[in-house]
Amino acid sequence: MSDGTQAGSQKLKLGALTALVVGSMIGGGIFSLPQNMAAGAGAGAIIIGWVITFFGMLTLAFVFQTLAFRKPEIEGGVYGYARAGFGPYVGFNSAWGYWISAWIGNVSYFVVFFSALGAFDALGFFGDGNTMPAVVCASILLWALHFMVCRGVHGAAFINTVTTVAKLVPLALFIGIVIFAFNVETFNLGFWGSPTLGSVVDQVKSTMLVTVWVFIGIEGASMFSGRAEKMADVGKATVIGFLLVMVLLVAVSVLSMGVLTQPELAALKNPSTAGVLKAAVGDWGAALINIGLVISVGGALLAWTLLAGEAAYLAGKDGTMPAAFGRLNKNGSPANALWLTNGCIQVFLIITLFNSAGYLALLSLATSMILIPYFLCALYALIIVLKSDGYEAGDSKRLKDIVIGLVATVYGVWLVYAAGPKYLFLSMILYAVGLPFYLWARREQKERPFTSLEGILAAIVLVLGAYAAYELGTGALSL
C-alpha cells in the first residue's frame, strides 16, 4: 500500500471531469422521470418545479465553481468545505452522509438495472430487480466493478467517458421521437393537475426530491479536484455538465406530457420512458429505452463506484475518517475505501431480497442523506464571501458571489423543507451509526473528540437515531 499520495498518477482533463459529472447525474433516474414527476404533479407544476430547480442547482453549480477557485487547497468537495466552515464533527457527518448517499444510490441502481433486464421476456426471472437471480448477478457485477476500479482510477474514468457518450444516444433518440409525437391538446389537458394532487404548491413540493435526485452528482468534478490536471477545469466541468443534463431532464419530463396525460403517465411502470415511446411508436420503442437504460445505469454504477470510493478515501486521507481508508494501492486506487463501500452495498443487496423497499424508497433515503451536505457547501460559500476570505479588496465578483451564495443557501433550506421529516428522520439512524468511526479517527489524530457545541449536536443525533430505529423496529415508521 502507498502512503496515500498521488505523485506520478495521471491527471484528469476537462473532458474526463465533465464525463464524471454527466455520468454520475445521468443514471436510471432520467428514464423513470415521466412517471416520477407525473405521480404528484401536473404539467404546470412540473414546469415551475424545473424553473426553481434550474436556478437553485445553477447557483449550487456556481458555488462549487467559486469554492474550487477561492479555496483550491481544500480537497474532498462537499465534505471538505463543510469541515473547513463548521468544524471536524460537522465535516465528518457531511462526509459520512455523502458517502452513504453514494453507495445507497448504487444499491438502487443495481435494482433498476436488473429490473430493466427483467423487462425482456428471456430475462423475466430478474423480475423487479430484487429476485434471487437479480441479487446474485448484481453481486457479480458489483465485484467486477470493484476490481476494475482497483486496477486504476484513471482507466476507470476513461471507461466512464465512453459509457457517458453511449448513454446519451438513446436519450437523444427519445427526445427526437417524442418531439414528433407531441400533441398540444394532450399537454394542455389537466395542465394544473387534478384536485387529488393537491394545490400547486403541494405539487411543486412533490417534484423536489425527484429533481434533486437526478442532479445528485453535480459535485462529481469537485470530489476529484485533487486528481484534476487544472483546478480551473473543476468549475468548468461542473457548469458544463449541469447545463447539458438540465436540457435533457426538462425535455424528457415535459415533452412526455404531450404524448400521454398526467394520469396515464402516473400509472406507467418504470422505466416510464419505455411506456412513453411504446405509446408513440410501438413495442420497439420500449425495447430501445430498456437497452438505453442498461447502458446508462451501467455507466452510472461505474461513476458512483468511483465517487463513493473517492469520498471515503479523501476523508481517510485527511483524518476525517480512520486513516486505513485514506491509503492508495500500487495502482493509485483507494482499495480499502472501496472494500468498505462495496461491502456495504453487498449487504444491502442481500437485504433487498427480504425487504421490498423498492427503488423510490432507496432513492428518497439517499437523497435525504445528501441534502444537508449540499446546504452546508452553499452556506460556507456565503460565509467566505461575506468575510472576504479569499477575496482581494475591491474584487468586482464579490457582489455576484454574495447573491449566488445566498440563493444557493435558501435553495438548500427549501430542499430540506420539501423533503419532509420522514427520510431526514430515518437518516439520523445512519448518522448515529457513524459516531464510532468519528471517534476512531479523532483518537488516531490524538485530538479532543468534541467541542461543547459538537457534543450537544452528537447527543441530539444519537437520541434521534435511537428513536428512529425504535419506530422502525415497531413498524410505526417504514421505508
CA distances from 417 to 47, 202, 306 (A): 20, 12, 30
Ordered domains of the chain (ranges, CATH): 14-417 (1.20.1740.10)
pLDDT at 183 over 60: yes
The answer to whether 311 and 79 are in contact (CB under 8 A) is: yes
| Cα R_g (the chain), whole angstroms | 22
Q: What does the mean pLDDT of the chain come to?
A: 83
Span 137-147, pLDDT tens digits: 999 999 988 88
Rounded-to-integer distance, Cα 99 and Cα 461, Å: 18
pLDDT band at 73 (very low <50, low <70, confident <90, very high): confident
Helix 14-25 to helix 231-255 angle, to the nearest 10 degrees? 30
- What φ, ψ does residue 228 adopt, rounded to 5°? -75, 145
Rounded-to-integer distance, Cα 323 and Cα 308, Å: 16
Nearest to 223 by CA among 20, 382, 66: 20
Q: Residue 179 burial (CB < 10 Å; 0-12/13-18/19+)?
A: exposed
Q: How many CA atoms lie within 13 A of 175 on its CB side?
A: 13
The answer to whether 296 and 245 are in contact (CB under 8 A) is: no
pLDDT at 375 over 70: yes
To the question of pTM greater than 0.85 for the whole model, the response is: no
The answer to whether 449 and 108 are in contact (CB under 8 A) is: no
- Classified as helix, coil or strand, 320 is coil
Span 413-433, pLDDT tens digits: 887 777 777 878 888 888 999
pLDDT of residue 153: 64
Write the DSSP symbol of residue 10: P
Average pLDDT over residues 60-68: 84
Cα torsion angle, 147, 148, 150, 151, sign: positive
Cell numbers placing 446:
490524538
pLDDT of residue 4: 42
β-bridge partners, 228: 12
- Classified as helix, coil or strand, 12 is strand
Angle at Cα 365 formed by Cα 340 and Cα 74, nearest 5°?
60
Span 248-281, pLDDT tens digits: 999 999 999 999 999 999 998 877 888 999 999 8
- Classified as helix, coil or strand, 228 is strand
